[in-house]
Structure 1
Amino acid sequence: MDDMLIVTTNEVAGYRIVEVYGEVFGLTTRSRNLFSSAGQQMKTVVGGEINGYTKLQHDTRETSIGRMKEEAKAKGANAIVAMRFDSSTFQNIDSVAAYGTAVKIEKI
């Protein structure tokens, strides 16, 4: 097992939860580059993937997960269960929250 297992389920197959540390989360808010945004707006006219926005979303989610993991580790957890994302976009600002329940698990 990795040093921090993260799952979207409430349980981990083959493990039992021996301690619950509570909710943990990682927040990230990023703004888009104004010049990049102008170029990406043209892409919405012709269609297709907007690579700059995709990368921004990916990087923002990864940062949020990393912050959530750090909070869980600080509490003594070795896993996060019931992990979810919440995100919002307003003008050129993307916000992502990764959250779940920090737990300590042991192999059965």
Structure 2
Amino acid sequence: MTQLLVTTTENIPGHPYEVLGEVFGLTTQSKNLVRNIGAGLKGLVGGEIKDYTKMLEESRDVAVNRLRDNASAMGADAVVMMRFDTGSISQDMQSVAAYGTAVRFINTDSTDTNA
């Protein structure tokens, strides 16, 4: 099975579509004790906190996969105008939302036998 197309653009060249509605995928991750200690130490010397970066990358992947599941359940062929929103729920929790518009491709191959 091919993976449902998710794009940040409004149009998909060569694929006219009808809008099905809004879809989203959401996840909330908490930082564990090891990550917090590592981040604290890294904060003293500066630089990228790779464990947090990895956590956010994983969160984005989970959010997009949930978005795809949501769109697929609606009968969509694709999601257009996908965006991310992130926020901190508390000092130790981060949420990531992926949202967009579910669309179904319109078949433009019409065979008019009355012509």
TM-score after normalising by structure 2: 0.85
Aligned partners of 1:80 and 1:88: how far apart in 2? 22
Amino acid at match of 1:44: G
Distance 1:25 1:63, change over 3 A: same
Aligned partners of 1:39 and 1:29: how far apart in 2? 20
Contact 2:35 2:52 (8 Å CA) reproduced: no
1:98 aligns with 2:98: yes
Q: For residue 10 of structure 1, what is the aligned residue in structure 2?
A: 10
Report SS of the residue matched to 2:16: strand
Q: For residue 38 of structure 1, what is the aligned residue in structure 2?
A: 37
Amino acid at match of 2:100: G
Larger Rg: 2
TM-score after normalising by structure 1: 0.90
Q: CA deviation at 1:106?
A: 4.9
Instruction: Give the total of aligned pairs.
Output: 106
Identity between Structure 1 and Structure 2 (%): 46
Contact 1:85 1:98 (8 Å CA) reproduced: yes
Amino acid at match of 2:55: L
Structure with bigger strand share is: 1
Output aligned runs, 1:25-64, within 5 Å. Answer: 25-64=24-63
Unaligned runs of 5+ in 1: none
